[in-house]
Amino acid sequence: MEKRKHIPKYSTLLGRISESFGLPVLDSDGIRELHERLIVETADSLQEGLGERAMQIHLQRIVGAYVGSAHGAGQFYSRAVSEARDVTAKASCDARDEDVDGPVGFDGQAQRRREFAADMGLQAHALRMAAEGAVRAYEQVVGETWKPYERPADNIGASVDRKAAELQMAAFG
């Protein structure tokens, strides 16, 4: 199995977040490898009970859930960062009384939003690593690259045309 390197941008960003906010440094490689192993071992245990196509469909759904979760967490993180930036920018304006920090010993709203965004960043990264592991496992078990399932579009126009043709032909007797 080929070892892939994750994009350094994310590990650098994660390191900066962890250091700036005093949060734990995640074992990205460990999370990714554990989830890859988990999915591969699950597939191995199901091998006798599932045919090749059934295994592919099952893993498609499982990996899709991991990817969907990571995607949702990433979007939530992006919104949290945007909100933290907005509140921090407003708090830096001396003319705004409603955005001043709380009483001594309590964090202000801007600080709480920044800390929340940092927590969401760690969560999004952890879920991304889990999804990467699941995608790798899919490729290892199924033998092809995972792609989101896209249901074939029903060709409604053709069925309507066919019904219309049947009715028209019936008119001839």
Q: How far apart are CA 133 and CA 28, in angstroms?
A: 10
Percent of the chain with pLDDT over 90: 46
Model pLDDT for residues 42-74, shown as the tens digit of each residue: 999 999 999 999 999 999 999 999 999 999 999
**Cβ neighbours of residue 119 closer than 8 Å, sequence gap 6 or more:** 23
pLDDT confidence of residue 6: 45
The closest alpha carbon to 70, from 130, 3, 15, belongs to: 130
pLDDT confidence of residue 36: 96
pLDDT confidence of residue 14: 78
Beta carbons of 118 and 21 less than 8 angstroms apart: yes
Q: What is the mean pLDDT of each run of 10 residues along the chain (173 residues)?
A: 48 76 85 96 94 93 95 93 86 56 62 89 94 96 88 66 82 81
Domains in the chain: boundaries: 8-171
pLDDT confidence of residue 9: 56
Per DSSP, helices labelled H in the chain are: 8-21, 28-46, 52-91, 109-142, 156-171
